[in-house]
Structure 1
Amino acid sequence: MQLIDIGVNLTHPSLARERDAVLARAYEAGVCQLVLTGTSLEESEQALHFCQELDETGSRLFSTAGVHPHDASQWNTESARQLRDLLSEAPVRAVGECGLDFNRDFSPRPQQEKALEEQLALAVELQLPVFLHERDASERLVAILRQFRDQLPAAVVHCFTAGKDSLYAYLDLDLHIGITGWICDERRGTHLHPLMRDIPAGRLMLESDAPYLLPRSLRPKPKSGHNEPAFLGEVLREVALHRGESQESLAAHSTATARAFFDLPQIET
């Protein structure tokens, strides 16, 4: 049974300092390919370097490159040029993490929108899929995406945590949905349970968002308290439960979807 983790923050210090062991545990757990998330130009470059350094075959590690809405205030013409260069590298398979965050508002909303629109334009120009972030901003995100959607090859709303109306709006735009360990959180994730059956096969992908969002249902819990790609099977278990399908079936179609979305090679395990 193969799994693909479409969102892991391997550049985060808690994972980067033991990256070889983290990857070894992931592979042992059946997570055969990983997409490393770039949230800033610096981290996007570091994620690319990890792919180049830690994957000699070029078949297991890939990355995204983009500027997160938290850092949108730093976006400028030079940012766009640097990002274009990063997106030309073979391991980089998507634009992002980019989007809107009206929950924390670390960057002014107009600047968030400008950075998002320019990154979407780059994705259209380069015909790359988009790795999207959204918090408390689904209506505005949908409005902006509508302007680009017909020209974008694909886009995934990563770490989906919103409600039914937002999910349906995203599916109406033919977007993909990324599900994390949020669904394993009995305090704040139970609203996702009945929505799992509404996501069509071919639109659903799984991600750890490690080192964040350690599945609260995981037993035993790691002493570090950090999430890892090796724990993606717990997300698989919870999503399969609420979709009413076997873990094997979910693994098969979510992995095939991720492989097609990011244009990843088939691998033998």
Structure 2
Amino acid sequence: MQLIDIGVNLTHPSLAREASAVLRRAREAGVVQLLLTGTSLSENEAALRLCEELDESGQQLFSTAGVHPHDAKEWSADSERQLRDLLLQPRCRAVGECGLDFNRDFSPRPQQEQALEAQLQLAVELQLPVFLHEREADTRLLAILRHYRDQLPAAVVHCFTGERQALFAYLDLDLHIGITGWICDERRGTHLHSLVSNIPGNRLMLESDAPYLLPRTLRPRPKSGHNEPAYLPYVLSEVARHRGQSEAELATQTTATARRFFNLPDWSENSQE
């Protein structure tokens, strides 16, 4: 059984300092390919560097490159130039993490929207999929996306935590949905239990968002409290249970979907030799 983690923050110090061990544990858990999330110009470069340093085969590690809405206040014409250069690198498979965050508002909303639109234009120009962040901003995100959707090859709402209305609106716009360990959280994620069965199999993907969102179904819990890709099977198990699917069937489905979305190569043990 193979899994693909479409969102891991491997550049985070808690993971980067033992990146080789993190990847070994992921492989042992069946997580064979990973997308390293880029959130700023410096993190984008670091993610790409890790891909090249830790995966000589070019088969296991890939990255995204974008500017997170928290950092949108730093967006400039030079940001766009630097980002375009990064997106042209072979290991970089999507634009993002970009989007809107009206929950924390670390950047003013007009600047968030400006940075998002600039990145959507880059995705259209380069014909790359988009890795989207959204918190308490689905209405505005949908309004912006509608202007670009027909020109984009694909887009995924990463770490979906919203309600039914938002989910159906995203699906109506032919977006993909990423599910994390949020669904394993009995305090705030139980509303997802009744929603995940509505996501078409060819638009559902799984992600750890490590080192964040440690699945609360995990026992024993690691002393560090940090999540990592090796725990993605716990997300698989919870999603499969609420979709009425076997874990094997869901793994096959989500892995095929992720490979198509990010244009990833097939993976086998032989490709690592």
What TM-score results when the alignment is normalised by the length of structure 1? 1.00
Query: What SS is found at the alignment partner of 1:132?
Result: strand
Q: Deviations over 1:215-268 (max 9, x none)?
A: 001111111110000000000000000000000000000000000000000011
- What CA distance in whole angstroms lies between the structure 1 residues aligned with 2:39 and 2:190? 27
Query: Which residue number corresponds to residue 185 of structure 1?
Result: 185
Aligned-partner residue type, residue 158 of structure 1: H
Query: Which residue number corresponds to residue 12 of structure 1?
Result: 12
Identify unmatched segments of 5+ residues in structure 1: none
Query: Which residue number corresponds to residue 229 of structure 1?
Result: 229
Query: What SS is found at the alignment partner of 1:118?
Result: helix
Query: Which residue number corresponds to residue 113 of structure 1?
Result: 113
- What CA distance in whole angstroms lies between the structure 2 residues aligned with 1:132 and 1:225? 26
User: What is the Cα deviation at residue 135 of structure 1?
Assistant: 0.1
Query: Which residue number corresponds to residue 35 of structure 2?
Result: 35
Identify unmatched segments of 5+ residues in structure 2: none
Runs of 4+ that moved beyond 6 A: none
Query: Which residue number corresponds to residue 247 of structure 1?
Result: 247
Aligned-partner residue type, residue 83 of structure 2: L
Q: Deviations over 1:167-214 (max 9, x none)?
A: 000000000000000000000000000001100010000000000000
- What CA distance in whole angstroms lies between the structure 1 residues aligned with 2:22 and 2:190? 29
Query: What SS is found at the alignment partner of 2:34?
Result: strand
Q: Percent identity?
A: 75
Query: Which residue number corresponds to residue 96 of structure 1?
Result: 96
Aligned-partner residue type, residue 107 of structure 2: S
Query: Which residue number corresponds to residue 266 of structure 2?
Result: 266
Q: Deviations over 1:14-54 (max 9, x none)?
A: 00000000000001100000000000010000000000110
Aligned-partner residue type, residue 115 of structure 1: A
Figure out how many residues of one structure are paired with residues of the other and give that number. Answer: 269
Query: What SS is found at the alignment partner of 1:194?
Result: coil
Query: Which residue number corresponds to residue 220 of structure 1?
Result: 220
- State whether structure 2 residue 159 is matched by structure 1 residue 159: yes
Query: What SS is found at the alignment partner of 2:215?
Result: coil
- What CA distance in whole angstroms lies between the structure 2 residues aligned with 1:183 and 1:148? 30
Aligned-partner residue type, residue 6 of structure 2: I
How do 1:198-213 residues align onto structure 2 when only pairs under 5 Å count? Answer: 198-213=198-213
Query: Which residue number corresponds to residue 49 of structure 2?
Result: 49
